Structure 1
Amino acid sequence: MLSLLSALILTGSDSVDIRKFGAVGDGVTVCTRAIQRAIDEAGKGVVLVPAGRYLTGSLHLRSHVELRLAEGAVLLGSPRRHDYEKGVWYSLLIAKDLEDVAITGKGTIDGQGAEVAKDVLHMVETGEIKIPPKGWRPSETERPQIIEMSGCRNVRVKNVTLKNATCWVQTYHNCSGLTIEGVTVDSKSYWNNDGIDVVDCRNVRIANCDVDTGDDGICLKSDDPKSACENVTIENCRVRSSASAIKFGTASHGGFRHIRVRNIRIHDTFRSCLALESVDGGALEDVVVSNIKAVHTGNAFFIRLGHRTLSAPPGRVRHVVLRDFDVQIPAGRPDMGYPFKGPQFSEAHNLCPSSIVGLKQAPIEDVRLERIHVRFAGGGTPEIAKTTIAKVPERVKEYPEFTMFGELPSWALYARHVRGLKIADFSATLEKKDYRPPFALDDVRGLTATKVKIQGALGLPIPSNLRPTE
């Protein structure tokens, strides 16, 4: 009681300083108990992490408590995996079934991911952790995240820097009223370093974030067939990713509804600027993505309805609008410089077009492409560019990626099993020769196209129902 009173006197009536509970900011002293005590005794108020480096294992957040990191403050995750506890997975900060919980301030939370990964690998060597069957690295469930919140209401994560996770950086399961704003993510320390994962959450705003990460940048997922990601806004963010910058999926059991993504700047991204995927029976609908500017990225957009979860009927993808895209696709790997690069393609192919691919029994419905401009490096290999529409495999159950079909018979846009495709003001530029037509359409009905402009192509035939117009 005396320690709590002294902390209140020092920092103000609604905040407590972790140093008053014994935390030492020397980067060496383990401060887990001291910080946890400050959180537990704060009541309704602020727990202040002042400037310094505070070494800690897992901490459990509390309702009505804001963990505030001052400028110059660093919460330093322990390099020992045994110092971490499980929520859904292992994590440094854990919140479960809370309300009015916040992590704020100009400080940093450093998960020391490379060091933790070494300890996890040592646990593999001693037999304490098993590599999953057919796997080659420790499971994500054995590697700590930085933040994990589940079942929480009214969550704020604002202005902090999150770096060096051993797995996903931050995950929010089944939360409502979630705001992630002004957050910087810098995590390329091990595999599966997703920047922001939002799973079956409602009423979400992600804004003004800068994400540089060794897997998907900002990712919406759905694990629960009875739930979904709903009413989500992602805006004014900058993303660099060794996978996809903005992704819905791969887990897509319940689905994604009423989503708005706008004003996103993307660079040096290995896979797609935008990947919209429903492969587990969920519904992806009422999605509008606008004002996307990307340089040095592997693919502009990939929309996929698959059926890998055979225990559920196929889902649906419909009512999707993409507008105001300006994307540059280079010839080489766009993720050069990442310590953990994206996987090599399993099949030889030229540059992949953007693609919209549904199922024969469940076509994608009502997609609009408006003011889309994509610049391709080109430089195709004629020996590879012999694929015809009839030879493209369906691959209904396979993991969805823009490269999943191998070589495609077009360089700008490929669409299959689509009902209601509206294209208005679409331009594609080819810097060097390709040996394929710009468009390939297979089982596409209800197509309308205006102001389609192709530059730099070889004069190969353009499908008669998608002829460029001025």
Structure 2
Amino acid sequence: MELSSVYQFNVMDYGAAGNGTNSDTAAVQAAIDACAAAGGGTVYVPPGRYLIGTVCLRSNLTLHLEQGSVLIASTDKDEYRFVTVYEQCVNTTVQTGNLYGKDISNFRITGNGEIDGADKAFWTRKETVGESWNSVPIYYWPKEWRPMGIMLEGCSNVHIEAVTIRSSPLYSGWLIDCQRIQLRGLQILNDFHGPNTDGFHFSSCRDVHIADCHFLTGDDSIAIDADGISKAENYTITNCTFNTSVNCFRIFTGLDPWFTVGSYNEVRNISISNCSVSNAAGFLNVTADNGLIEGITVSNVTLTMEQEGTPIFIMTNKGTVRHVIVSNMTAKSNGTCVIIGQPGDSIDDIVLSNILFDVAAKRKAFGIDIPDDIQGYAYHHFVPYNLYFRYAGRIRLHQVAVHWLDTELQESWSALKCREIERIDIDGFSGIHAGEDSEMPALHFANVKEAWITRTRALPGTKVFLQVEGTETRDIHLSDNDLMHAGQPVKTAMDVRAEAICERGNRTW
């Protein structure tokens, strides 16, 4: 079978030069439009370097990037189409991209070719690099405008497979109010020190499947929000690898920097599994700002963190997070898990199961404690080293272990600190205080209204196993624990009633 009978529309037949110096925007667009006019088919991009601005995608066709083909972002602003997105929402913004589709369906990008965003052409190198908002310095300032690699709004039945997206000056992909999306076998290779060199953002998208992808990013690798016109729901993400200066996953409502009006949104039903992380500042960052996030499961993760941060960060600000399960994780990191709400918010039914944290603490602004007045989601870079829970409903820990590695820090802190918690269940926990302060408890409770601690062993060197304080503390149950290595099993403050502590079946000698 001849090539022309397989690929009906070859961009070279429409005047594409493919030399990387002349504009190929019009030729690629002409091939796409001809394919769409014929009722659909395949647009073929042969090996070569194609300089493009904005190319508008159409329904019922495949854009096939042959191995050796590269779509390169033009720096000519006149080659781009700037569009208003979120037009039906209270907050709108204007953006542009190289491959743009609106209200299209049944579209594929396939092949082993590349999309090259020519990142540094849209940035200015900083003269000096000082402290950054996170631990990885950003080397560049963005110029007045910069394109995204792929930008889709209101699209359905979209498949993107096998291609490489590299050197993005902004997000590699932004999908808004789309449904039935599949990403498979992608290589996302962006600048680790670039400004906003995220992987893919999904805003109010539904029925999304991501598998077998690799992400190298200078910001969040995968972001999921509900800032469009509908809920964000039903995601499966599996068998992916990550190397990022910020988060592997950021799941949020609100927070986008152009927002001028607060809005209530919902994100639900996200399953993440079988992922490996070679470097990150965090794995899972969940932040509900005036919205609802529920139904997140994470399983089978291996994680290494070099940047300051914490593997698991859950936060609310006038929002709700509930029904989150993280299980079967090993993390070599400089933090563990931080769950912090605000008075009147709702964080409920959070489960951590079969997790091992090996923690080499690095100095952070709030490594010991964090202010009540939380400024924003970026605090995950600065939050405490230990398991730190505040203003939450029910939290369950099952077979969670914290092991402190060597550090140059002189401070001491507990393995677990809980404040203003409705209920916490702890089963099979392993952890001791960090630092030289022998009076520091392994577990520290303040105003915990109900707790069950079972089948937990006080490690050798434990002076105080559990310290409780606060007038709201009550119903603290310890049963079937091995506390023989604790110099003092429970230390109770003067403001805690004696009947608040119930001990049964513990080994203390």
Match of 2:225 among 221, 226, 240: 221
What CA distance in whole angstroms lies between the structure 2 residues aligned with 1:10 and 1:453?
A: 63
Match of 1:447 among 424, 428, 432: 424
Match of 1:293 among 297, 302, 326: 302
What CA distance in whole angstroms lies between the structure 2 residues aligned with 1:260 and 1:325?
A: 14
Which position in structure 2 is the counterpart of 1:305?
A: 316
State whether structure 2 residue 358 is matched by structure 1 residue 375: yes
| 3-state SS in 2 of match to 1:227 | coil
8 Å CA contact 1:29–1:55 kept in 2: the answer is: yes
How far off its partner does 1:355 sit? 0.3
Which position in structure 2 is the counterpart of 1:284?
A: 293
Q: Structure 1 residues 440, 83: CA separation in 2 closer, same or farther (over 3 Å shift)? A: same
Length-normalised TM-score, structure 2: 0.75
What CA distance in whole angstroms lies between the structure 2 residues aligned with 1:324 and 1:462?
A: 23
| 3-state SS in 1 of match to 2:170 | coil
How far off its partner does 1:177 sit? 0.4
How far off its partner does 1:462 sit? 2.2
Match of 1:45 among 41, 49, 58: 41
Match of 1:242 among 241, 245, 248: 245
8 Å CA contact 2:253–2:265 kept in 1: the answer is: no
What CA distance in whole angstroms lies between the structure 2 residues aligned with 1:169 and 1:57?
A: 15
What CA distance in whole angstroms lies between the structure 2 residues aligned with 1:276 and 1:263?
A: 19
How far off its partner does 1:9 sit? 7.5
How far off its partner does 1:203 sit? 0.4
What CA distance in whole angstroms lies between the structure 2 residues aligned with 1:327 and 1:387?
A: 20
Match of 2:11 among 15, 18, 43: 18
Q: Structure 1 residues 301, 110: CA separation in 2 closer, same or farther (over 3 Å shift)? A: same
8 Å CA contact 1:373–1:428 kept in 2: the answer is: yes
Q: Structure 1 residues 198, 379: CA separation in 2 closer, same or farther (over 3 Å shift)? A: closer
Gaps of 5+ in 2: 86-94, 127-139, 256-263, 445-450, 458-481, 483-509
How far off its partner does 1:455 sit? 5.7
The letter for the 1-side match of 2:348 is E
| 3-state SS in 2 of match to 1:230 | strand
Alignment of 1:319-468 (within 5 A): 319-330=323-334, 352-378=335-361, 392-396=370-374, 398-403=375-380, 408=384, 411-432=385-406, 435-454=412-431, 457-458=434-435, 459=438, 460-463=440-443, 468=456
| 3-state SS in 2 of match to 1:417 | strand
| 3-state SS in 2 of match to 1:12 | helix
The letter for the 1-side match of 2:442 is I
What CA distance in whole angstroms lies between the structure 2 residues aligned with 1:29 and 1:387?
A: 57
C-alpha deviations, 1:255-302, integer Å up to 9, x for none? 210110111111221x211101111x2210011111111113432110
Match of 1:79 among 75, 80, 87: 75
| 3-state SS in 2 of match to 1:142 | coil
Kindly name which structure, 1 or 2, has the bigger radius of gyration based on alpha carbons.
2
| 3-state SS in 2 of match to 1:62 | coil
8 Å CA contact 1:81–1:144 kept in 2: the answer is: no
| 3-state SS in 2 of match to 1:289 | strand
8 Å CA contact 1:323–1:370 kept in 2: the answer is: yes
What CA distance in whole angstroms lies between the structure 1 residues aligned with 2:178 and 2:366?
A: 47
The letter for the 1-side match of 2:352 is L
Which position in structure 2 is the counterpart of 1:335?
A: none
What CA distance in whole angstroms lies between the structure 1 residues aligned with 2:266 and 2:362?
A: 38
Which position in structure 1 is the counterpart of 2:111?
A: 105
C-alpha deviations, 1:18-73, integer Å up to 9, x for none? 11111122111211111100000013100000111111111000000110001111
C-alpha deviations, 1:280-334, integer Å up to 9, x for none? x22100111111111134321100111xxxxxxx32111111111111115xxxx
Higher relative contact order at CA 8 Å, sep ≥6: structure 1 or structure 2?
Answer: 1
8 Å CA contact 2:310–2:383 kept in 1: the answer is: no
Q: Structure 1 residues 379, 163: CA separation in 2 closer, same or farther (over 3 Å shift)? A: closer
How far off its partner does 1:81 sit? 3.2
How far off its partner does 1:82 sit? 3.2
How far off its partner does 1:166 sit? 1.4
8 Å CA contact 1:181–1:209 kept in 2: the answer is: yes
| 3-state SS in 1 of match to 2:33 | helix
Identical-residue share of aligned pairs (%)? 26
What CA distance in whole angstroms lies between the structure 2 residues aligned with 1:424 and 1:222?
A: 31
8 Å CA contact 2:246–2:282 kept in 1: the answer is: yes
What CA distance in whole angstroms lies between the structure 2 residues aligned with 1:86 and 1:181?
A: 28
What CA distance in whole angstroms lies between the structure 1 residues aligned with 2:3 and 2:322?
A: 56
State whether structure 2 residue 6 is matched by structure 1 residue 32: no
State whether structure 2 residue 29 is matched by structure 1 residue 57: no
The letter for the 1-side match of 2:349 is D
What CA distance in whole angstroms lies between the structure 2 residues aligned with 1:173 and 1:103?
A: 17
What CA distance in whole angstroms lies between the structure 2 residues aligned with 1:234 and 1:217?
A: 12
| 3-state SS in 2 of match to 1:190 | coil
What CA distance in whole angstroms lies between the structure 1 residues aligned with 2:48 and 2:432?
A: 56
8 Å CA contact 1:166–1:191 kept in 2: the answer is: yes
How far off its partner does 1:118 sit? 5.2
| 3-state SS in 1 of match to 2:378 | coil
Match of 2:284 among 274, 297, 300: 274
| 3-state SS in 2 of match to 1:424 | strand
What CA distance in whole angstroms lies between the structure 1 residues aligned with 2:141 and 2:217?
A: 19
